Amino acid sequence: MAMGKTSTVNITPEMMNNALNVISDYRKKTVDLHTQLSDTVATLIPSNFSGNAADGFKIFYENKIEPAVGEGLTNLLDSLQKMCEGILQAIPQDSVGLDDQLAEENKK
């Protein structure tokens, strides 16, 4: 989005609602993929993968991968969602927008 000469970016409610929808869709996809990964790891280790390497992989998965794709990604998406919700709340709504305020002042 070009900012023009004033370095102002105009953000519409539609833009923020679209961003919130994308975040929601992405969250659903990541939850599904996280579940698939967890299920795969849970069945892989006891059935086809054993020994010290399997134990090491399980520890690595539980200590590094799981927190990153579980809690880490959830926290990131939560932050993005809160930012978008905050921006959306700050945008004047049509019924109380800046245009109406300017019109009233200009009529005086």
- The model's pLDDT over 48-99, given as tens digits with 9 standing for 90+, comes to 788 898 889 989 999 999 999 889 999 999 999 999 999 999 887 765 556 6
- 21 occurs within a structural domain: no
Domain that holds residue 42: 27-90
What's the average model confidence in pLDDT over 27-36?
Answer: 94
pLDDT over 90 percentage in the chain: 51
CA distances in angstroms from 49 to 11, 37, 39, 64, 101, listed in the order given: 52, 15, 14, 19, 68
The pLDDT of residue 2 is 53
- 73 occurs within a structural domain: yes
What's the average model confidence in pLDDT over 10-33?
Answer: 95
- 97 occurs within a structural domain: no
What total of structural domains would you count in the chain?
Answer: 1
- 4 occurs within a structural domain: no
Of the listed ranges 10-14, 17-21, 89-93, the one predicted with least confidence? 89-93
Tell me the backbone φ, ψ of residue 8, rounded to 5 degrees. Answer: -105, 135
- 72 occurs within a structural domain: yes
